[in-house]
Amino acid sequence: MRCLDMLARVGGGELEAALTYILCMGDTDRTDLEPVVDQLGPEAKEALMTTAERLEAKGRAEGRTEGRAEALLELLALRFGPVPASTANRVHNASIDQLQQWTARVLTADTLAKVFE
């Protein structure tokens, strides 16, 4: 069975799940999917738009978090010297809110440990 035929048989959340899988796991770009989705009709076009927008927003949020973590690690190294691997791991696994708090504390903390209190 062709992929197009399989996609035509699913709808709603299943279609979004299939499109999410295709976009995340393969080398397929949204623009590559558009001609296929056009053949499936308006519901599929809406599902592709919703899926692509959600993935793009997630990517932007992850990029902001990663960028803030890298900036914080640079500031920590400039202020306190080499950053231990355990601290770097903690920074990379932190939420954006926690990273914002720690970044602000870099300016006033006397020690590396005080940044994370």
Q: Of 69 and 1, which is predicted with more confidence?
A: 69
Query: What digits encode the pLDDT tens for the residues 8-66?
Result: 666 656 777 777 777 776 677 777 777 877 777 777 777 777 777 777 777 777 878 88
Tokens, residue 47: 């599902």
**Could you tell me the residue range of the domain that residue 108 belongs to?**
3-115
Q: What is the DSSP string of 56-101?
A: HHHHHHHHHHHHHHHHHHHHHHHHHSSPPHHHHHHHHTS-HHHHHH
Q: Number of folded domains in the chain?
A: 1
Mean pLDDT of 57-86: 87
Distance CA 61, CA 53 (A): 12
Least confident of 26-30, 75-79, 93-97: 26-30
Give residue 94's pLDDT: 92
Q: Of 117 and 15, which is predicted with more confidence?
A: 117
Question: Band of the pLDDT at 85, cuts 50, 70, 90?
Answer: very high
Give residue 1's pLDDT: 42
Measured on CA atoms in the order 112, 113, 116, 117, is the torsion positive or negative? Answer: negative
Question: Band of the pLDDT at 76, cuts 50, 70, 90?
Answer: very high
Residues in the chain: 117
Position 101 pLDDT exceeds 60? yes
Position 74 pLDDT exceeds 80? yes
